[in-house]
A and B are shown apart, each in its own frame.
Chain A
Amino acid sequence: MTDQEQAARHHPVYDRLHATPEFAELRRRYRGFVFPATVAFLSWYLLYVILSSWATDFMSTQLWGHINVALVFGLLQFATTFGLAWMYARFSAAKLDPLARQLEAEYRKEGNV
């Protein structure tokens, strides 16, 4: 299939699937997770960057030995990145994939593909 055909094709099955409550629910769940999560991790990251420049005294506070707040804050960015990735993996497998599979199966049935 060339891209030209792809552009011309608009199977009505897409409109039907788009209108189903399952699709609305899938999109609501997806956006309900990723939009707040994106705002949260970007704010958390920017807070780190801004504190590094404008709150150097706080960031330089020594905690144990030579380990200071700045280092712990940086390592926490790693921890939150791993944590959020893990949460999304669990969330998507439990809440998104079943709905997506169901809709994709309907597409195969209705779209005759």
Chain B
Amino acid sequence: MDTQLLTTFLFLTVVALTIGITFWASRQTKTAADFYSGGRSFSGFQNGLAIGGDYMSAASFLGISGAIALYGYDGFLYSIGFLVAWLVALLLVAEMLRNAGRYTMADQLAFRMSQRPVRTAASVSTVVVSIFYLLAQMVGAGSLVALLLGVDSEALKNLTIVGVGALMIFYVVVGGMKGTTYVQIVKAVLLMIGSALIVVLVLAEFSFNLSDLLGAAAENSGKGEAFLQPGLQYGASLTSKIDFLSLGLALVLGTAGLPHILIRFYTVPTARDARKSVLWAIGLIGAFYLMTLVLGFGAAALLDRSQVDPLEGGNQNLASPLLAEAVGGGEGSTGGAVLLALIAAVAFATILAVVAGLTLASSSSVAHDLYKGVIKKDSAVSEDDEVRVARIAAFVIGAIAIALSIPAQRLNIAFLVALAFAVAASANLPAIIYNMFWRRFNTRGATWSIYGGLIAAVGLVFFSPVVSGLPTSLFPDSDWSIFPLNNPGIISIPIGFLLGYLGTVTSKDPAAEDRFTELEVRALTGAGAEQAVHH
């Protein structure tokens, strides 16, 4: 069977399915609450699936299994950090945010602070985080399609990026939060079924004996037992060990500051539903990351090392699709071709669902925070007007993401995602936590922590070996790297918290302290929280 034809067919099926869903959802999108939050009428289970669909990105599905296939045990840290992070969201953020806010991350800050400065700051960091994350997904989509269709041409990669960009703009502009949510639900179901299928087939090769699978992976990797032990990727020096710790911090603290995740908590009727959706998401995401362990070690055991090792001309990001081909019967077999095409289509659906969520989060923030809250100072902006601006913003942000993705193709996908997490943990999380738990916290504290964390995270990366000084850097021929780590979190997260503290204690803002009473009652009890929309 012709794999390329089948792959193309399944890709088009995914695209057609999501377009159909979007048109269907558009008929139910009438008000601003529908556009931004799907009318707050999703159930906890539906939203849990959608959170999974929003969160399990191409970096997870392709990146983590690839990292495990290549570096063995060290790739597993991503899975653990990405999962444990959900406890921060569950215990400290989800329910209170649902009760205190309306449409965007900035809402809960603007609740008790000066509207314009905090909305501007939160909107800037929302857009920056979302763009880094978007670049990672779109660059991934470009290489995925090019490699699967067997045509390694720049033109095809660029065309794929433009196509993905056009689709994500379409989902958001036409379907709003409802359309985006259903796309994410479908993707989550496809991803879980597809992964489970491959996992069962891999385990069957080893008679469901995990130890045998690990042994085969260790042997086939050429590294022996060291492949199953920590340290292969990060254990070389003190600097790389600290880098690993820094990455670990950004992963665990970044999730609860990602704008496209935070706005998902607004899509349910009550805080209790927000809690339920996080519980479902934890179950789903945890099961998925357990499967990445089998996918990664399975790829290490069953694939030829040269297929996944970039030093030997392979591509680690294709470990999962190639593994699907191998367990389906190998290259040239019908089973292999079908499974390869199937998993590739699942990966493509994964990318589409995530980019839609990111575009929605950033265009919502531009319309609701910048346009309505800052430019128009809230004065008589009609709902239609606001949603119209959100749709225009989706176009502009989509166009910017496309324009940046094309030159960004030489950047490492995992690095871009890690940077988005580091910025979210440094700029957004301190402000969210202080706002909910510290009466004294005020406008200056919020703006200092957001801008300070943002500038620290991006600035440290700019002066790191990721950008200059090494053959693998973005600018390999120059060297202005003065910060030794690739991951800024270990410095930039404390800076975000420290600046939030300093900004607060150096200014007086009695109104913010006064309104904390209302915020606290509302956040903990739901008294006065936004209600679901009934059509």
Contacts and interface: CB of A to CB of B under 8 A. Distances in A.
Interface in B224-262: 225, 228-231, 234-235, 241, 244-245, 248, 252
Interface in B78-97: 79-81, 83-84, 86-88, 90-92
Interface in A60-83: 60, 62, 64-68, 70-71, 74-75, 77-78, 81-82
A97 B275 CA distance: 11
Contact of A81 (B73, B84, B381): B84
Given A71-B214, A78-B286, 4 more contacts: A4-B115, A30-B524, A56-B230, A74-B76
B440 interface: no
A64 B110 contact: no
A66 B87 contact: no
A81 B279 CA distance: 11
Given A10-B515, A45-B80, A45-B252, A18 B526 contact: no
A2 B377 CA distance: 11
Contacts of B525: 17, 23, 26, 99-100, 103-104, 107
B212 interface: yes
Closest 4 CB pairs of A and B: A65-B211, A107-B527, A66-B214, A52-B230
Interface residues of A, number: 61
B318 to A, nearest CB: 24
B524 A23 contact: yes
A30 B521 CA distance: 13
B110 A71 contact: no
Nearest to A108: B527
B248 A85 contact: no
Contacts of A49: 77, 244-245, 248
Interface size bracket, B side: 35 or more
A81 B83 contact: yes
B521 A4 contact: no
B521 A103 contact: yes
B231 to A, nearest CB: 5
Contact of B110 (A7, A81, A107): A7
B207 interface: no
A38 B91 contact: yes
24 contacts: A2-B381, A3-B102, A23-B524, A26-B525, A33-B91, A41-B84, A48-B80, A49-B245, A53-B234, A56-B235, A59-B229, A60-B225, A60-B229, A60-B230, A65-B212, A66-B211, A66-B212, A70-B228, A71-B228, A97-B272, A103-B525, A103-B527, A107-B521, A107-B528
Interface string A18-46: 10000100110010011001100110011
Give the most central of A75, A82, A100: most B CB within 10 Å. Answer: A100
A92 B234 CA distance: 39
A103 B81 CA distance: 36
A9 B146 CA distance: 55
Given A10-B518, A81-B286, A104-B526, A74 B80 contact: yes
